[in-house]
Amino acid sequence: MIPLRRAARESALPDITPLLDVVFILLIFFILAAAFAVHGVDMRLPKSSAARAYAGKPLEVVLAADGSLSHGGAAITLRDLAFLVARNSTGEIRTRPILLIPDRDASVGAFMATVNAIRDNGGERLVIAAQPTPKATLQ
């Protein structure tokens, strides 16, 4: 018999749709994993009976025991801090709070210089990190 219909040719290219599905699922997984990754600094915080939990996305500044400052893992100076705070406090309707994470062994002078640099440049929403202690009861 003579075939009346031509046989349909199969494409020589493989179907990459499943591969794209897997790539996009992996991309979403890694984006979500990076968003929930916790980055922290091991600090000896001062103790306070007035300490309470804080939630939010503040501008974090770390004051080390030797008086050095860092933001986002990079070392900064008081001048850099002043620039960061001034940029944070202008142009936005609601500014982010500034979280100061001091080491317990940091000097009072370095702490006050940091607080003054923040306040002098418009950092009105200053939060100081502290280790909670059990509250003493009055007898």
Q: What is the pLDDT of residues 33-65, one digit of tens each?
A: 887 766 555 556 666 666 666 666 778 889 988
pLDDT > 90 in the chain, percent: 13
Handedness of CA 24, 25, 28, 29 (dihedral sign): negative
Residue 108 domain flag = yes
Q: How many domains does the chain have?
A: 1
| 0.85 exceeded by pTM | no
Residue 40 domain flag = no
Evaluate whether 8 touches 67 at the Cβ level (below 8 Å). no
Task: Supply the range of the domain harboring residue 75.
Answer: 47-132
Residue 17 domain flag = no
Residue 11 domain flag = no
Distance (Å, whole) CA 125 – CA 98: 6
pLDDT per position as a tens digit, 107-116 = 888 888 998 8
Residue 33 domain flag = no
Evaluate whether 107 touches 21 at the Cβ level (below 8 Å). no
Residue 74 domain flag = yes
Q: Supply the CATH number for residue 88's domain.
A: 3.30.420
Residue 6 domain flag = no
Residue 21 domain flag = no
